[in-house]
Amino acid sequence: MTIARIHGFISVEEFFRLHSLLERIPYVDLAKLPYYKEDYYDESGDTELLFATGALKLASISAEDGNKYVLSALGENLLRCGIGVNIDVKREKGTELEPRTATKEDIDELFKV
């Protein structure tokens, strides 16, 4: 990250954010970051930790498949400038929700007084 800052690839603010992020992520979980190039969830517990640090963002919410996460811009910068892994992240704006059609009963329930 220091070399990335020296060469102007990241700002001073980004450097400090990445440094703080790196301090909070256990070494063993750094190897899991590339899995989040696309929507992903790992039941071993690294997903929650990486999400809490800011390395991931919520990609989709689903009752059947469970929530999926993808690298945040900060997580992508950590991979690129901190670890030396350059990947293109498939990142959509916003969070994708599971489609659901409201029934007449659902609508009636909303406006019940």
The pLDDT value given to residue 70 = 92
Number of domains in the chain: 1
Q: Each residue of 26-82: pLDDT tens digit? A: 989 999 999 999 999 999 889 999 999 999 999 888 877 888 999 998 998 888 888
Q: Is residue 110 part of a domain?
A: no
User: Which residues, at least 6 apart from 50, have a Cβ–Cβ distance to it below 8 Å?
Assistant: 25, 29, 32, 33, 36, 56, 69, 75
Q: Is residue 92 part of a domain?
A: yes
DSSP string, 27-88: HHHHTTGGGGGSSB--TTTHHHHHHHHTSEEEEEE-TTT--EEEE-HHHHHIIIIII-----
Altogether, the residues listed in the chain come to a count of: 113
In terms of residue numbers, what domain contains 87? 2-98
**pTM score:** 0.72
Q: Is residue 25 part of a domain?
A: yes
Span 89-105, average pLDDT: 61
Q: Is residue 109 part of a domain?
A: no
